Amino acid sequence: MDNRASMGIIGTEYKKNFTANQVWYQLIPNKPLLIDFNRKEHMLIVAKSGSGKTYLMGVLAEEITRASQNTGVIMLDMMGVLPTLRIANTDAGTLHAWNQKMILHPIKPVALTNVEIWVPKGDAKEFEPDQFDTAFSMKANQLSYGTLCYCFKMDTLDPQTNLFRKIKRIVKKQNHDYTISDLIDGIHENREDLGFKIQTADALITKLDALVELNLISSQGIDLSEMVQEGKIVVLDLSMSERYTAKIIVNFLAEQLLKTRKKMKNKLLAAKSKKRLINRPTNYIPPVHLLIDEAHNFFPSKILKTYIKEGRNCGCKMTAISQSPDLERSVYANITHLFVGQLTFKDDLARVLNMIPVEREPKPFRAEVKDLDVGNFLYYDLNKKIEKKIRIRPRKSLHPASTEMEDERKHFIETYQQHDNVIEFLKNKGNVLMKDIPSEMKAECAKLIKTGKITAKNEGGFTYVELC
Ligand SMILES: Nc1ncnc2c1ncn2[C@@H]1O[C@H](COP(=O)(O)OP(=O)(O)OP(=O)(O)O)[C@@H](O)[C@H]1O
Ligand SMILES: [Mg+2]
């Protein structure tokens, strides 16, 4: 069923045109790509670096919270580029070009107000207090053996895993709200009675110590129902985090979200079968959409595999964003929407070719994917077996462009003034001997020579500088 209100506008089909030495994209108004976000469907975005994956991730977040208002969104941001969802897009040219053609789907710049920035507790010191809203931490009793195994590449049948499981059980009986230190004490006290070797205990304690150092585990933990709320986007900024922190968090979230949503669904089904209305539980979490940037860092993972496989039934959706299609088969088997941006490696192209639901000749397909420009993707609906070549719509909110280094300078008043001082000095003096540049201006002067704003010439054994 085509439910208009829950349809999100992602982009439109286009034609690539050339004028003189410029490329422009002719947007085709009656061929938009609309996705129904009320459906329980996973998505995958694959493309090489710099081709517009994170930009598209932002478009999806904007549309999910608009079109499916009962959904909570969590975005795992490995680069720290998503907090700008709270700033309106300033790229008037792109917005104008879209709005001129796509009159049925106009896009206005919007500073999203439903965004919260979270950072892992152990990394909060790397941020200014006004850069984030909430510090993320988990309780020791929320650390599952699945996450431990995944994080430290241990087998489920490893003696260390077995010891961890047994100690957890013993310590939990004494104190439900135990800490990692309680677990370590428990290992010391019970290791011998349980029949484990000292080496096993030491190796497990080393891993638990490493977790303590990450400072991710606290006595309070977080309340998932505070994090996942209808219409709210939580950006979890992992840009300053260790690989372990990111891995633990991704697994923790996937595991806890799935578990909690399964309980919600069972409660609801029980009430439905008895034709009864029930109160919303205090720890209620709504359907949730987890968007994972740089997802290739987190596969293979049993927990993510389960999330993808079982999640759809209970409203746990995922969008995985990856530079390489080298993920697990289980991911491909469960996704509905596939976006393929520019890829250049032969093996990546071969994998994608195997995944798509339509027959394509390998050679022209490879050429087409290699030729895709930034912001352009081949889109596939793997259920409906549809293929479209689309240009992603402009963002409502700002996506920081990594190349805008000049713009960055303006925000650092001190450097900007130094730059002005040097330029002013040279404007007044003209051609100046390098040794006569005042010492406080020397560093900035050297930078300006490197960037080509000032030239340095050697004449008669002396270096002279002047404005270009
Ligand atoms: N649809 C688009 N319209 C206009 N500009 C875009 C679009 N998509 C991407 N860009 C521009 O291209 C640049 C790179 O985009 P983005 O950061 O999304 O790439 P990426 O694929 O996530 O790269 P990486 O793998 O390095 O993270 C951005 O700075 C953005 O300004
Ligand atoms: Mg990116």
Spatial separation of the C-alpha atoms in residues 293 and 208, rounded to whole Å: 27
Query: 56 alpha carbon to ligand 1 midpoint, in Å?
Result: 8
Q: Give tens-digit pLDDT for 100-156.
A: 999 999 999 999 999 999 999 999 999 999 999 999 999 999 888 888 888 888 888
**pLDDT at residue 119, rounded to an integer:** 97
Let me know how long the chain is.
468
More confident residue, 400 or 59: 59
Spatial separation of the C-alpha atoms in residues 116 and 133, rounded to whole Å: 6
* Alpha helices by DSSP H, 317-412: 329-334, 346-355, 362-370, 405-411
Residue corresponding to tokens 């190349």: 403
Closest Cα partner for 312 from 10, 43, 31, 32? 43
List all residues 6 or more positions away from 417 whose beta carbon is below 8 Å from its beta carbon.
Answer: none
Residue corresponding to tokens 């003696």: 159
Q: Looking at ligand 1, which atom is closest to the CA of residue 400?
A: 29
Q: Is 283 left (phi over 0), alpha (psi -120 to 50) or beta?
A: alpha
Tell the residue nearest (CA) to atom 12 of ligand 1.
52
Helix (H, G, I), strand (E, B) or coil at 442: helix
Tell the residue nearest (CA) to atom 5 of ligand 1.
375
Mean pLDDT, residues 447-463 taken together: 87
Please report which ligand is nearest the Cα atom of 399: 1
Confidence tier at 405 by pLDDT (50, 70, 90): low
Q: Decide if pLDDT at 30 tops 90.
A: yes
Closest Cα partner for 56 from 386, 402, 375? 375
Spatial separation of the C-alpha atoms in residues 46 and 41, rounded to whole Å: 17
**pLDDT at residue 417, rounded to an integer:** 79
Residue 252, token pair as written in the block? 């923790």
Spatial separation of the C-alpha atoms in residues 253 and 14, rounded to whole Å: 38
Q: With contact defined as beta carbons under 8 Å apart, do 236 and 249 qualify?
A: yes
What letter represents residue 348's amino acid?
D
Q: Give tens-digit pLDDT for 210-261.
A: 888 889 998 888 889 999 999 999 999 999 999 889 999 999 999 999 999 9
Query: 176 alpha carbon to ligand 1 midpoint, in Å?
Result: 46
Is the pTM value of this prediction over 0.75?
yes
Spatial separation of the C-alpha atoms in residues 39 and 21, rounded to whole Å: 43
Residue 247, token pair as written in the block? 């891995």
State the chain's mean pLDDT as an integer. Answer: 92
CA 420 to chain centre: 38
Q: With contact defined as beta carbons under 8 Å apart, do 397 and 91 qualify?
A: no
Tell the residue nearest (CA) to atom 29 of ligand 1.
401
Tell the residue nearest (CA) to atom 11 of ligand 1.
52
Closest Cα partner for 395 from 113, 106, 59, 114? 59
Tell the residue nearest (CA) to atom 10 of ligand 1.
52
**pLDDT at residue 447, rounded to an integer:** 86
User: Which residues line ligand 1 at a C-beta cut-off of 6 Å?
Assistant: 47, 49-55, 79, 94, 323, 374-375, 392, 399, 401-402
Q: Please, which residues bridge with residue 378 across strands?
A: 340, 389
Q: Decide if pLDDT at 406 tops 70.
A: no
**pLDDT at residue 407, rounded to an integer:** 65
Q: Decide if pLDDT at 1 tops 50.
A: no
Closest Cα partner for 248 from 141, 119, 150? 150
Q: Give tens-digit pLDDT for 161-179.
A: 999 999 999 999 999 899 9
Side-by-side strand order, sheet with 454-459 = 432-433, 462-467, 454-459
Residue 52, token pair as written in the block? 């517009």
- Site to substitute for ligand 1 among 291, 372, 399, 403, most atoms within 8 A of C-beta: 399
**pLDDT at residue 147, rounded to an integer:** 87
Local structure of residue 78 (DSSP, 8 states):
S
- Site to substitute for ligand 1 among 323, 343, 374, most atoms within 8 A of C-beta: 374
More confident residue, 191 or 19: 191
Q: Give tens-digit pLDDT for 327-357.
A: 878 788 899 999 999 999 999 999 999 999 9
More confident residue, 212 or 411: 212
Closest Cα partner for 12 from 37, 25, 29, 35? 29
Confidence tier at 8 by pLDDT (50, 70, 90): very high
Least confident among 53-67, 386-400, 404-418, 449-463? 404-418
Spatial separation of the C-alpha atoms in residues 261 and 318, rounded to whole Å: 14
